[in-house]
């Protein structure tokens, strides 16, 4: 049976007094961001999406359409005081890495490492979302020579899809 893990962090991103990075969802307890991401480090290719979540509908009078909580201070570390309409959006595919010397990155298929640490830091004090979804390599699946083997594999894939749908619906 295949297992499909996916990470969905959504809510207000913040750092506590000990500089631990958290996300507080609307309907649950806070979760440690870096601990959640560590589950995907070096485990194979993933698709990572990170972006701000402006209010619905976006409020043109608020920085980031309402996603920035720094407005009352007059200064936003992500630069909303200079560019109030800025909306972070990052979408990358590769191997998630965390290096002690320079932080988070994603290694693309050419071996180039794309830094993620600054984008993660831009989430602090903002409503946002991080999604990490493993890339399934269907070419590495076993040869399905018989109808019985194909039927078994189809059941496994259907189960995988159902579990994926249930995780998405929970969030």
Q: Express each pLDDT in 98-129 by its tens digit.
A: 998 889 999 998 999 999 999 999 999 999 99
Q: Could you tell me if residue 2 is inside a domain?
A: no
Cα 112 from chain centre: 20
104 with 142, same domain: the answer is no
Task: Return the pLDDT at 4.
Answer: 64
36 with 115, same domain: the answer is yes
118 with 160, same domain: the answer is no
Task: Return the pLDDT at 1.
Answer: 30
131 with 167, same domain: the answer is no
Half-sphere exposure of 65 (CA within 13 A, CB side): 14
Cα dist from 79 to 6, 54, 63, 75, 130, whole Å: 30, 15, 10, 7, 20
125 with 168, same domain: the answer is no
* Domain tally, the chain: 2
Residue 71 confidence class, pLDDT cut points 50, 70, 90: very high
Residue 170 confidence class, pLDDT cut points 50, 70, 90: low
Q: Could you tell me if residue 1 is inside a domain?
A: no
Average pLDDT of the chain to the nearest whole number? 88
Distance of alpha carbon 148 from alpha carbon 5, whole angstroms: 27
167 with 83, same domain: the answer is no
| Residue 142 predicted with pLDDT over 70 | no
Q: Could you tell me if residue 145 is inside a domain?
A: yes
Radius of gyration of the chain (CA): 19
141 with 131, same domain: the answer is no
Summary count for the chain: helices (H), strands (E): 3, 8
Domain housing 102: 7-135
Joined tokens for residue 14: 């913040």
113 with 88, same domain: the answer is yes
Sign of the alpha-carbon dihedral angle for 91, 94, 97, 101: negative
129 with 166, same domain: the answer is no
88 with 158, same domain: the answer is no
Task: Return the pLDDT at 2.
Answer: 44
22 with 86, same domain: the answer is yes
């Amino acid at each position: 049976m295949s297992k499909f893990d996916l990470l969905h962090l959504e809510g207000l991103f913040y750092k506590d007094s000990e500089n631990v990075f958290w996300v507080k969802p609307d309907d649950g307890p806070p979760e440690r961001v870096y601990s959640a991401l560590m589950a995907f480090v070096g485990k194979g290719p993933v698709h990572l999406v990170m972006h701000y979540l402006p209010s619905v509908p976006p409020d043109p009078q608020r920085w980031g359409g309402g996603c920035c909580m720094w407005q009352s201070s007059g200064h936003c570390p992500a630069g909303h005081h200079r560019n109030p309409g800025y909306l972070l959006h990052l979408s990358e595919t590769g191997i998630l890495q965390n290096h002690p010397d320079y932080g988070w990155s994603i290694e693309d298929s050419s071996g180039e490492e794309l830094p993620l640490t600054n984008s993660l830091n831009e989430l602090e004090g903002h409503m946002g979302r991080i999604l990490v979804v493993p890339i399934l390599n269907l070419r590495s699946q076993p040869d399905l020579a018989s109808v019985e083997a194909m039927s078994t594999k189809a059941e496994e894939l259907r189960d995988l899809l159902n579990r994926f749908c249930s995780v998405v619906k929970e969030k």
